[in-house]
Structure formats: structure tokens, C-alpha cells
Amino acid sequence: MRSLSALNEKVVLLRLTGRLDEAWDMANAALRQSRFTGSREELAFSRIRRAQVQQFRGKLDEAATELTHCVLESETHEWGAVAAFARESRGKVYFEQGDLDAALADFRASVTLREQAGATPALLESALVAVAVVESFIAERRQAGQQQ
């Protein structure tokens, strides 16, 4: 369990199964491990996964702040895959917070970054679906506003 990839995989599995306290502890362990043995890029991935756990725990402001730092760092260093992952994750937080315009901007940026990085069609499709969903929510909101 000492390998960084194993720790990160466990974070994801614990988060997805709803074991959020354990996921938080494991995310912090992965973060420490990546600080000591990983690259800065791996550290950013670990920070993103930890922010996802914060999101699932309902700590949306903290997750958004952490993800914003990850976006800025990854885009500064031109880490396309990390930036796309950070943008997509932050877009989900913004969506959950009801900030649809910010979510849409992040999802669109994620699509662009994934295209530039040569992402697989499946990854591109999931990012495009997120864009379409948010666009439909924005259209519904506008339509509801016009009817009032």
C-alpha cells in the first residue's frame, strides 16, 4: 500500500463507495507520499483527488479553493492532463454550488485541454456531455426567467 498509485486508487474507491472519512485519511496519506516521492505533477493529481473527497463531504468552498490552486499551477506549468482534470473537477463543484456559468467555462476549458492533450474519445465524450448538460440547465434557467 505504499505506492502512490495504490493510495490514489484507494482514495477513488473509498470516495465512490461513500466511505468518506477513510477516503479523506487516504487522500492525506497520498498527498504526503506524493510530496516526498512524487513529481509536482503527481502532487497536483493527489491534491485534485483530495479536493474531490472534500466535495463529496459537502465542503464545496474548500474544494473549489483547492481546485483553483491546482488549475493555476497546472496551467502555469502547461500540464495539460492535470489542468483538464482540475478544470473538470472544479466545474463539478461549481455546478453543485449552482454557479452554472463558471461550471460551463471550466467544462469547456477541460474539453479544449483534453483535445490538445490527445485524449481518448471516451474522455472527450464525458467532458462534452458535461458541457451539454450545463448548457441545457442554463437554457432552462433563461427560459424560466423569460416566462416570469
Residue 19 to residue 74: CA distance in whole angstroms:
29
DSSP code of 3? S
Place of cell 502512490: 4
Q: Residues in the chain, how many?
A: 148
Mean pLDDT, contiguous 10-residue spans, the chain (148 residues):
83 95 95 90 95 97 98 96 96 97 97 92 90 96 81
Residues 6 or more apart whose Cβ sits within 8 Å of residue 88:
106, 107, 110, 127, 130
CB atoms closer than 10 angstroms to residue 46: 25
**DSSP assignments along 36-62, one per residue:** HHS-HHHHHHHHHHHHHHHHHTT-HHH
Instruction: Quote the pLDDT of residue 144.
Output: 85
CATH number for position 85: 1.25.40.10
R_g of the chain, CA atoms, integer Å: 16
Domains held by the chain: number: 1
Q: Which domain holds residue 41?
A: 4-147
Instruction: Quote the pLDDT of residue 148.
Output: 65
Residue 34 to residue 78: CA distance in whole angstroms:
19
Instruction: Quote the pLDDT of residue 129.
Output: 95
